[in-house]
Chain A
Amino acid sequence: RKEVEQDPGPFNVPEGATVAFNCTYSNSASQSFFWYRQDCRKEPKLLMSVYSSGNEDGRFTAQLNRASQYISLLIRDSKLSDSATYLCVVNRGFKTIFGAGTRLFVKA
Chain B
Amino acid sequence: GAVVSQHPSWVICKSGTSVKIECRSLDFQATTMFWYRQFPKQSLMLMATSNEGSKATYEQGVEKDKFLINHASLTLSTLTVTSAHPEDSSFYICSARESTEASEKLFFGSGTQLSVL
Contact = CB atoms under 8 A, between A and B. Distances in A.
B105 to A, nearest CB: 6
Interface in B18-44: 32, 34, 42-44
Interface residues of A, number: 20
A96 B43 CA distance: 13
Interface string A86-100: 010101001111111
B34 A96 contact: yes
Interface in B72-117: 91, 93, 95, 97, 103-111, 113
Chief secondary structure at chain B's binding surface: strand
B43 A41 contact: no
Interface of B: 6, 32, 34, 42-44, 46, 49, 91, 93, 95, 97, 103-111, 113
14 contacts: A32-B104, A41-B113, A42-B110, A44-B44, A45-B108, A46-B105, A49-B103, A87-B43, A89-B106, A94-B49, A95-B46, A98-B44, A100-B42, A100-B43
What 3 pairs between A and B have smallest CB-CB spacing?
A: A43-B108, A100-B43, A98-B44
